[in-house]
Amino acid sequence: DTGVSQNPRHKITKRGQNVTFRCDPISEHNRLYWYRQTLGQGPEFLTYFQNEAQLEKSRLLSDRFSAERPKGSFSTLEIQRTEQGDSAMYLCASIEQEEGDNGYTFGSGTRLTVV
Amino acid sequence: QKEVEQNSGPLSVPEGAIASLNCTYSDRVSQSFFWYRQYSGKSPELIMSIYSNGDKEDGRFTAQLNKASQYVSLLIRDSQPSDSATYLCAVTGRRALTFGSGTRLQVQP
């Protein structure tokens, strides 16, 4: 078990392009979270899944953002028509639901730069 | 009012001193509290959790919780230059962890 894995580590894209990030959670973890972190701020909740069901989405997640978790395993986060304001670190975390309120383990993150 | 508030710092302490980091939260239903350490350009790393009032010690780290005052703190004893990082306070919310903006700690050799 190598922990939560995120790819790519870095992504530079031109404004208006679409990007997709992938997160592979710890294998037995049924909950998966996406957060976004901008410089000088703490991580902000975007959305989370329990197995394959997307249970909640933040208001931060505009309709240009979509997340999926097919078969309850890995998850993807897609941003369409990227804007400079989307530049941030995108973090994924997973947890086994039965662990209750244990803290999350984050992946290494994907740093997005929109130019 | 932010849900989780932290002084952004930087908090500067000399090597070997005690660093004290503070956090207040607004949601009284929060039950679990966490401290994460984040080095520049890296993702947050969980270092402490606390669930009940009082102190919890783990090595050089002590977390303190006062639910009546809605206050969480982290003490780092014998601070080392390698402790220089941003420390994020996180509390359980209605759907997911809510994070503060973090306090930047600088330990001077």
CA distances from B34 to A7, A17, A113, B30, B45 (A): 26, 37, 29, 11, 10
Task: Give the model's confidence band at A1: pLDDT under 50 very low, under 70 low, under 90 confident, else very high.
Answer: low
- Measure the CA–CA gap between A87 and A36, rounded to whole angstroms: 9
Instruction: Identify the band that residue B1 occupies on the pLDDT scale cut at 50, 70 and 90.
Output: low
Q: Which of A81, A76, A49 is nearest to A62 (CA)?
A: A81
Count of alpha carbons within 13 angstroms of residue B97, beta-carbon side: 35
Question: Tokens 């350490």 belong to which residue?
Answer: B37
Chain A residues within an 8 Å CB radius of B101: 40-42
| pLDDT at residue B13, as a whole number | 97
Q: Is the pLDDT of residue A100 over 60?
A: no
Return the pLDDT at A16: 98
pLDDT of residue A71: 86
pLDDT at A5 over 80: yes
Note whether B106 and B78 are within 8 A (CB): no
Task: Give me the pLDDT at residue B18, please.
Answer: 98
The answer to whether residue B51 neighbours chain A at the CB level (below 8 Å) is yes
Tokens 């606390």 label which residue?
B50
Q: Mean pLDDT across the stretch A75-96? A: 96
> Tokens for B62?
């002590």
What's the pLDDT at A32? 95
Mean pLDDT of B85-103: 92
Higher pLDDT, B85 or B8: B85
Find where tokens 């993150």 sit. Answer: A109
pLDDT per residue over B24-34, tens digit each? 999 888 889 99
Distance from CA of B14 to the nearest CA of A (A): 23
Does A86 score more than 70 pLDDT?
yes
Give the closest of A48, A55, A106 to B44, CB-based. A106
Q: What is the pLDDT of residues A8-65, one digit of tens each?
A: 999 999 999 999 999 999 988 889 999 999 999 999 999 999 999 999 899 888 899 9
Q: What DSSP line would sit under A55-108, residue for residue? A: EEE-TTS-TTEEEE-GGGS-EEEEESS--GGG-EEEEEEEE-GGGTTPPPEE--
Under DSSP, the state recorded for B81 is G
Phi, psi (rounded to 5 degrees) for B82: -70, -10
pLDDT, position B94: 76
Q: Determine the Cα–Cα distance for residues B106 and B10; give it in Å rounded to an integer.
A: 7
Q: Do A103 and B36 touch (CB under 8 A)?
A: yes
Q: What is the structure's pLDDT at B29?
A: 84
Q: From the centroid of its chain, how far is CA A18?
A: 15
Phi first, then psi, for residue B108 (nearest 5°) are -90, 125
pLDDT for position A108:
97
Q: Is B40 an 8 Å CB contact of chain A?
A: no
- DSSP for residue B59: T
